[in-house]
Structure 1
Amino acid sequence: MASWHTGRLLTAAARLVEHAFDAGVADLGVTHAGVTVLYELAHGPLPQRELAVRCGVQDQTMSRTLDGLERDGLVARRRDTADRRRILVERTDDGALVMEHAEAIGEARLAPLADNTSPESAVVRRMLIRVIQEYGGFRGRCPGDCK
């Protein structure tokens, strides 16, 4: 791995972390993608298109993710009364409960990465935030808290 370029290292690390998280939340019936959606809906309903942008995915991908979450009763979709062309997505009470459990599982599962106090971790975090911002991900907005 020492000879891998930085992009390959980032991709490999991201996939491994996502797989570890998915394995941890599998018993809840959700994936990393589903948990990301539930997290983004924590402060209220969002238009489906905005949700896709915030999660950094294509509309079609978001639609498939929402289909599963809606089928499982974790989100609900409805027409926006102010603009009938828009679909609003909101988290249900069951979705909030799953999100709460997923956060606890994620914290436990990803504990080895949680040390934000070491100088090395601080450097890695700054670099990752810079990569996200440099590539304009999520309309320049980090999902969740990336400060």
Structure 2
Amino acid sequence: MSDQSRSHPANELATWHTGKLLTAAARLVEHAFDAGIAELGVTHAGIRILDALNEDAITQRELAGRCGVQDQTISRTIDGLERDGLVMRHRDPGDRRRVLVERTEDGAQVLERAREVADKRLGTLDEGTPEDSAAARRVLINIIERYSGGRWGGCGH
């Protein structure tokens, strides 16, 4: 496919439904971020998990809740992050039945590098006027709140 056949003139884009525009924009932004973090050896899902862990150790179920997914869904990703030394699992000293997941220092460093990648690759998203940027953010937040059903409580990048 040539570059010309893949690009869309602005007048054609203006005919697209807002949902199609939003989906296309989200995919393009995600691909740009994913290309940047590929060198870190971690997936987009892995970065979301590292980001959601903050500074506290939590259960896999709590982590899944923060990410808006089922705990079985993130199990493989956590396994890979643990294998790479980016997170660790350990028993809860207060309740030995519970297993907690915690970000390691290496995980914190990878997350920081991923944030730098995001700033570098996606920083141009805020290049408009502060008013335009704030308005776009309000619209995006409204869309996320309307359609997420509360699933996206803290698992971003």
Q: What do residues 103-138 of structure 1 show as CA deviations (whole Å, max 9, x unaligned)? A: 111110112113375322221100110111112444
Aligned length: 145
Counterparts in 2 of 1:22-37, with a 5 A limit?
A: 22-37=34-49
Question: Alpha carbon RMSD of aligned pairs, Å?
Answer: 2.2
**CA-CA distance at 1:144 after TM superposition:** 5.5
User: Does structure 1 retain, via aligned residues, the 8 Å contact 2:89–2:101?
Assistant: yes
Counterparts in 2 of 1:48-87, with a 5 A limit?
A: 48-87=60-99
What is the aligned counterpart of 1:134 among 140, 143, 146?
A: 146
Structure 1 residues 116 and 91: CA distance shift in structure 2, 3 A: farther
Q: Which has the larger radius of gyration?
A: 2
TM-score (norm 1): 0.85
TM-score (norm 2): 0.80
Q: What do residues 21-77 of structure 1 show as CA deviations (whole Å, max 9, x unaligned)? A: 111011110122111111111221121111112122232221121111111110011
- Partner amino acid, structure 1, of 2:153: R
Structure 1 residues 24 and 7: CA distance shift in structure 2, 3 A: same
Q: Determine the C-alpha separation between the residues in 1 that align with 2:115 and 2:59.
A: 24
Residue 108 (structure 1) aligns with: 120
**CA-CA distance at 1:7 after TM superposition:** 2.2
Residue 90 (structure 1) aligns with: 102
Structure 1 residues 57 and 139: CA distance shift in structure 2, 3 A: closer
Secondary structure of 1:108's counterpart equals: helix
Secondary structure of 2:75's counterpart equals: helix
**CA-CA distance at 1:11 after TM superposition:** 2.0
For structure 1, the 5+ residue unaligned runs are none
- Partner amino acid, structure 2, of 1:109: R
**CA-CA distance at 1:78 after TM superposition:** 2.1
Q: What do residues 78-115 of structure 1 show as CA deviations (whole Å, max 9, x unaligned)? A: 23233344331100111011111111111101121133
